[in-house]
Amino acid sequence: MKVEDANITYKTKLSVWYMTYNDIVKHQTPEGYWTEDVLAGLGISASDVAAQLPSELSSLSEDTRMRVAVTWIAIFMLQQKFPETEPEWRLIAKKGMKYIQTQGHSYNSLKCWS
């Protein structure tokens, strides 16, 4: 969409929201996986994720496949978008990686998905 098509004129008030690492982190469960709620903030639809699940996850239940995938995405986004605050989220990401590991996979083995 072009700005001129958006009906934006001089003195139009715009609201812009930027996702912070805390916005990602708050969607992690005590078990270590991230909920699908984090996807909306990242601009990703759950149906798009479900359609592109790596074949390595096919042995898992549908719910677990999505949990692993969403967890992988959340960790990937933390690493890619917030490297400067890694000391603050490192242990949280490690917990997510541990969740992926308990499902029989590793974060690094799924990197081919990126």
Q: Report the distance separating Cα 44 and Cα 40, nearest Å.
A: 6
User: 64-109: per-residue pLDDT in tens?
Assistant: 999 999 999 999 999 999 999 999 999 999 999 999 999 999 999 8
**Token pair 């990242």 in the structure block, residue:** 42
CB distance 15 to 45 below 8 Å: no
Q: Report the distance separating Cα 110 and Cα 100, nearest Å.
A: 10
Q: Spell out the residues 6+ positions from residue 107 whose beta carbon is closer than 8 angstroms to its own.
A: 72, 75, 96, 97, 100, 101
Neighbour tally for 24: CB within 10 Å: 23
The model's pTM is 0.82
Q: Which of 31, 27, 16 is nearest to 73 (CA)?
A: 27
User: 31-71: per-residue pLDDT in tens?
Assistant: 999 999 999 888 889 999 999 888 889 999 999 999 999 99
